[in-house]
Amino acid sequence: MTGALDGIKVVDLSRILAGPWASQMLADMGAQVIKVERPEKGDDTRFWGPPFIKPASNEQPPQAAYYHCANRNKQSIAIDITTSAGQQVIKDLVAKADVLIENYKVGGLTKYGLNYAQLKEINPKLVYCSITGFGQTGPSAHKAGYDAMIQGEGGLMSLTGEPEGEPMKVGVALVDVMTGLYSANAVLAALMARQHTNAGQHIDIALLDVQVATLANQGMNYLASGQSPNRLGNGHPNIVPYQTFATADGSIILAIGNDSQFAKFCAVAKCAELANDVLFHTNEKRVINRVKLIPKLAYILAQNTTQNWVVLLEQVKVPCGPVNTLEQVFEHPQIKHRNMVQQVADNNGKFISTIASPINLSDTPLQYNNAAPDLGQHSKQVLEQVLDYSDAQVNNLFTQGVIS
């Protein structure tokens, strides 16, 4: 079956999460993604466990579950890019490629002859996506950036956590994931632009920029008021009630977005007087008077179980839901119906569970062809089938240790 990006070739020089997340999106859409890794070690995330999908062997490093979250549908070639021969292999790949994704430090690929200006000479139509912590320019451009530090420096941690507690990071590497999403979008835009410019371009994506851009309503709240928002735990700065509450047996999240929904909640909860109270009858009033309202709602919600509340409130279309563990998430009937867990085969024919993409295309559906590759699994195949190297060239590269 033809994918949306069938015929697009991507050279992936990225590792960890942001870059691989972007290139996996392109691979799911049908692009041929050739992941370039270091011989012997490969991508750092292969070691980021336990848990491991595959343990280390004499031939292979371990494969952590972390590595598998962002590297399916790719081919792996292990190249020593510190050698001139290794650099030439990458340049030959670039000559046939549409996209290159890298997340080296600013200027880090220049000494290898692999920066944008250098590769543009080889392939003027190349879309070259650089992902860094702080961008290609500016006083912090030289600094390395990792998700947790960017969540702090970019303000997200100041918004996350209990009001009297310490700043908290999000439970997944959200900045990396969002950076991957922005990067994939930028690559697709550049490929579309190439159709009328007949040229590639350089994409400069910074984790810090992404974090600031995705401050969303909280960022605009600051720009509008000049006041840094306070942490509200699971509360919402602009909507009340929109947070978690303890129930008789667990937790529930209310996501009441308008006054009509609040009135319906109060009717079900037998507290109609709250909906009619001038302190609470509009969202603006509820936001202003949240410290008076929230304890009243907390007392009411604690009198019944989560499931009973969900049943009662869903009947009147009040948005709410349980706070699920991941075990409950993957047993969720809607998640199962949407096929959000797929099975992909590794090189030994063993099937591995993977979390599906949320993208559903009617005519060119995403494919889940193979699990994340072993290190260098496709080295010989790429040299022979993509680059048309002769047997002598291939054997020479393996003998020299340039390719493994």
Q: What is the CA radius of gyration of the chain?
A: 25
Q: Determine contact, residues 373/76, Cβ cutoff 8 Å.
A: yes
Q: How many angstroms from the chain centroid is the CA of residue 180?
A: 5
Cα dist. 294→240, 265, 312, 382 in Å?
Answer: 8, 14, 20, 60
- SS3 label, residue 346: coil
The catalytic residue among 176, 209, 346, 374 is 176
Cβ contacts of 333 within 8 Å, gap of 6 or more: none
Cα dist. 10→72, 85, 88, 365, 368 in Å?
Answer: 14, 20, 17, 19, 17
Q: Is 374 a catalytic residue?
A: no
Q: Given the DSSP bridges, would you call strands 52-54 and 201-206 parallel, antiparallel or unpaired?
A: unpaired
How far apart CA 154 and CA 152 sit, in angstroms, is 5
Beta strands in 241-305 (DSSP E): 242-246, 251-255
Q: Write the DSSP symbol of residue 60.
A: -
Report which residue type is found at 279.
L
Tell me the HSE value of 297 on the side-chain side, using a 13 A CA sphere: 27
Burial 270-303 (b: 16+ CB within 10 A, else e): ebeebbebeebbebebbbeebeebbeebeebbee
Task: Supply 125's token pair.
Answer: 């139509």
Q: Determine contact, residues 29/3, Cβ cutoff 8 Å.
A: yes
Active-site positions?
176
